[in-house]
Structure formats: C-alpha cells, structure tokens
Amino acid sequence: MDHKQQITSILIELFTNPKTTKIPDYFSSNYIANTSQKTYHGLKIVSKWIKNLNQFLTDLKIEKIEFVHESKDTVVWIRTIKGKIKPTPLQNLKEGKVIKWEEMIVSKFKGSKIEEEWISSEFLGVLFSKTKKS
C-alpha cells in the first residue's frame, strides 16, 4: 500500500469506526502532531481527535481528499470534512447546522507509518462562524 492509500485507509477506518484499534498499524509509536496551537506527542492524540469530533458532531463524513504533493517520505494533502452540530450546553452553537471545513496536512512517513504531521484546520473558525445570532 502506498502512502496515499494508507492515508485514505486510516481516514475511512477512523470515520466508520471511531473506536478502532488499528491506529498503531498506521502511525508510529513516536507520532508527533504539530498544530498552530500546540505540538502533541503519541498515538492518543489520533483517537482523541476523532472522539472530540464525534462529541460535537453527528453524520461525520470525509467529503474529499486531495493529494497536493508526494515525495519519498512526505505527502501534502487536504481533507474536507462535513458534520452536523449536536445538541450542546454551549448556547452559541446552532444545533443541527451542517458545517464543512478543510484541513491541510503534511504527513511525514518513516517506513510505512506516519511519524509526524503538520496540520492546519479551519474547524474552529467554521464552527464558531455558524453560531446563533442574538
């Protein structure tokens, strides 16, 4: 399986089975996720990410995966995700509203596993731009 197929495969697995045990099959035990806010170390961040998405959204779907660039050990790609806001105690989120956002990811592989990623996401901006108007 090439790197693009691996990325597609784990995304399908995470979105159809958020409690999957296959994360170690795709990610290095030394996995690092770099975001604009923080750098995360270890595999738990992958399961926490999908758990958090499922906590706030229903009907989660990968709308599109676009591979922008690929080299021997690096893949640059964009995923478009869509979901519906769940009921929440946060009064400013509009329950039932469908949101769609893009995330740009640079995935660096070591052998057949993703070792490090740099992730830029529109999620929070899109989520809070869909708030209820007073």
CA 130 to chain CA centroid, nearest Å: 20
Residue 90: predicted pLDDT: 64
10-residue mean pLDDT profile of the chain (134 residues): values are 96 94 97 96 95 92 97 97 85 82 98 97 80 47
Is pTM beyond 0.95 here? no
What confidence tens digit (pLDDT) does each residue in 40-55 have? Answer: 999 999 999 999 999 8
* Residue 50 amino acid letter: I
Cα–Cα distance list, 62 to 13, 32, 39, 91 (Å): 11, 22, 24, 27
Residue 130: predicted pLDDT: 53
Q: In b/e form, how buried is each residue of 9-37, taking b as 16+ CB within 10 angstroms?
A: ebbebbbeeeebeebeebbbeebbbeeee
Residue 131: predicted pLDDT: 52
Residue 97: predicted pLDDT: 87
Give, in words, the CATH class of 3-129: alpha beta
Residue 134: predicted pLDDT: 39
Residue 96: predicted pLDDT: 87
Residue 53: predicted pLDDT: 93
Residue 94: predicted pLDDT: 79
